[in-house]
């Protein structure tokens, strides 16, 4: 998703006010908002757990490499490659002097070779032309194997790799919903390990599929975990630190996700066989099952579910590692809660809440929901679209992908400073408009301006990455507490569905290189302007009830 979506920092936090004021936001400053316990857990467990998402969201771009190809001519296979091409493949002077990829001369080579010596033969442009009846030959000097080579996904089948990316993205919205239910019903810990198992299985199984459609089915399975595999450790991280460290955690999870992309660029450069790539980008994550012994359940989730004894044990460990003690008042409230637990079901209280319809009941809330969802959709579409398109630009696809990943790092750091100083609305709007304008300008450049196109692309990626970081907390702050969970779920789900069309937009670039950039740029500029209609949330009291949400902004 993909990038993969980043859940809003306050989503699982503000809505959980626990038994008789047992709120962790009040407790954490007393036992350590970001003490030794949280640091160890964050650096050794939660942040590394953000890496697999980038691997599995983008390894497919390199599995589906399309090398130079031309029609196979069985009767000429004993001759050198260049001579075969020269004789059997039509040569197009107008298209920068290239051999045809999808047609061959339809002549009887056995007959011709009996009549003429091979050295005396030269192609005749009046010879009849036909399609590649015997398959294709591929240039394997850069990529030794890809799904395009193995399944012959070229010419009339060249849309298939695009369908494969759409299949991957189709799994995302289903997975977010599925793992969201697991997350809330069975806890963060179990849902993370199930999500990881699904990712490893889907990614690994595709390496052994005999045809494209079975391979695509495995990509749907892998897609179920994107962005869920990123969101779960992110939620755990947020739920363990105090309110003052949530921005820091958000930025760090983004950076580790990006680190995954940088590692992937290195791996794809070294591993040029798609089967090996699928294995190398999934098997190592089995090591993450070591976390089974270290990753605790979220104490916030345990408190919300009324499992107070388990929550108490984790909080006591947290306090002791941080060299603090649980306050007696909190222990007393926990004991009170344990007795109350038998007579009152916190779970039932938490489950009853307004549905999606409440987002559209009143005019102001309706407008905000539409604008938030539109901005989220545009952000995901342009971010993922640019990430998919990176390897197509520049002279070296591996370097282009590496640069498009590295450019996210300064973007997140700059955004971190800007958000808390100048708010959410203007930085969101400006970054989206800048990203869009950089994309659109590429249409003015001549085809040979490869470096200039790449520079504009990188500026665009820098800007959209910044807006991608802003949209998540901004969304959570705009929806009132009563509607926050359902609101974020709705916006994320709709934008996830939108990702299915992205591969088809980037596919248009096979005919006109900058066309996808112009489309994404136009979307980014138009939607970026609409975000100015949303209210600013920095230094404002955030709406709690549906009525307050209607009045806010």
Q: What residues does CATH 1.20.1250.20 cover in the chain?
A: 8-59+142-350, 353-553
Between CA 350 and CA 342 the distance in angstroms is 16
Q: What is the pLDDT of residue 13?
A: 36
Residue 286: DSSP 8-state: G
Q: Which residues of the chain have pLDDT under 50?
A: 1-21, 342-343, 345-350
Q: What is the pLDDT of residue 19?
A: 41
Q: What is the pLDDT of residue 447?
A: 84
* CB-based contact 480:545 (threshold 8 Å): yes
Q: What is the pLDDT of residue 246?
A: 83
Q: What is the pLDDT of residue 505?
A: 93
What is the pTM for the complete model shown? Answer: 0.87
Q: What is the pLDDT of residue 341?
A: 57
| Full DSSP string of 291-352 | GGGT-PPPHHHHHHTT-HHHHHHHHHHHHHHTT----HHHHHHHHHHHHHTTT--HHHHHH-
Residue 130 CB-half CA count within 13 A: 11
With both helix axes pointing from N to C terminus, report the angle between 51-63 and 228-240 in degrees, rounded to the nearest 10: 160
Between CA 515 and CA 512 the distance in angstroms is 6
Q: What is the pLDDT of residue 338?
A: 66
Fold of the 8-59+142-350 domain: Growth Hormone; Chain: A; (1.20.1250)
Q: What is the pLDDT of residue 10?
A: 37
CATH code of 353-553, in short, is 1.20.1250.20
Q: How much of the chain is helix, strand and coil, in % rounded to 5?
A: 70, 5, 25
Query: What does the pLDDT look like over 288-297, one tens digit per residue?
Result: 999 999 899 9
């Amino acid at each position: 998703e993909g990038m993969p979506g980043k859940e809003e920092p306050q989503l699982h936090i503000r809505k959980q006010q626990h038994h008789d004021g047992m709120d962790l936001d009040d407790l954490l400053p007393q036992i350590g908002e970001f003490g030794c316990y949280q640091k160890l857990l964050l650096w050794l467990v939660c942040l590394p757990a953000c890496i697999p998402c980038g691997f599995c969201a983008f390894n497919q771009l390199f599995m589906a490499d399309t090398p130079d190809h031309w029609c196979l001519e069985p009767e000429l296979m004993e001759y050198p490659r260049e001579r075969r091409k020269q004789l059997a493949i039509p040569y197009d002077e107008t298209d920068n002097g290239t051999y045809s990829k999808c047609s061959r001369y339809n002549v009887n080579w056995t007959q011709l070779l009996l009549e003429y010596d091979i050295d005396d033969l030269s192609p005749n442009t009046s010879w009849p032309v036909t399609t590649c009846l015997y398959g294709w030959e591929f240039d394997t000097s850069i990529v030794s194997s890809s799904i395009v080579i193995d399944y012959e996904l070229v010419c009339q089948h060249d849309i298939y790799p695009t369908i494969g990316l759409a299949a991957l993205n189709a799994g995302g919205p289903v997975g977010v919903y599925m793992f969201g239910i697991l997350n809330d019903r069975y806890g963060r810990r179990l849902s993370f390990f199930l999500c990881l198992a699904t990712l490893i299985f889907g990614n690994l199984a595709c390496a052994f599929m005999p045809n494209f459609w079975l391979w695509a089915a495995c990509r749907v399975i892998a897609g179920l975990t994107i962005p869920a595999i990123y969101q779960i450790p992110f939620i755990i991280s947020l739920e363990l630190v105090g309110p003052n460290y949530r921005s820091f955690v958000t930025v760090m999870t983004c950076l580790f996700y990006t680190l995954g992309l940088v590692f992937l660029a290195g791996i794809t450069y070294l591993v040029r066989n798609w089967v090996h790539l699928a294995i190398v980008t999934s098997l190592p994550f089995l090591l993450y099952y070591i976390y089974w012994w270290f990753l605790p359940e979220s104490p916030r989730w345990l408190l919300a579910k009324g499992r107070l004894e388990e929550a108490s044990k984790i909080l006591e460990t947290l306090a002791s590692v941080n060299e603090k003690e649980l306050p007696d008042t909190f222990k007393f409230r926990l004991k009170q809660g344990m007795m109350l637990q038998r007579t009152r079901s916190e779970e039932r209280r938490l489950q009853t809440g307004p549905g999606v319809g409440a987002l559209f009941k009143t005019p102001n809330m309706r407008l905000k929901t539409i604008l938030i969802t539109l901005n989220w959709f545009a952000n995901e579409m342009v971010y993922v679209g640019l990430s998919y398109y990176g390897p197509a630009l520049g002279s070296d696809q591996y370097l282009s992908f590496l640069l498009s990943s590295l450019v996210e790092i300064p973007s997140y750091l700059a955004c971190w400073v800007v958000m808390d100083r100048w708010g959410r609305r203007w930085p969101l709007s400006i970054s989206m408009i800048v990203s869009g304008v950089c994309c659109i300008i590429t249409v003015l450049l001549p085809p040979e301006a490869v470096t200039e196109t790449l520079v504009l692309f990188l500026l665009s990626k820098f800007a959209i990455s910044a807006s991608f970081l802003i949209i998540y907390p901004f969304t959570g702050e705009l929806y009132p507490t009563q509607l926050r969970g359902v609101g974020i779920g709705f916006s994320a789900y709709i934008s996830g569905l939108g990702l299915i069309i992205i591969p088809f937009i980037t596919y248009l670039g096979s005919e006109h290189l900058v066309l996808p950039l112009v489309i994404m740029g136009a979307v980014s500029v138009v939607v970026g302007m609409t975000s100015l209609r949303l209210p600013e949330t920095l230094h404002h009291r955030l709406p709690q009830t549906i009525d307050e949400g209607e009045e806010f902004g």
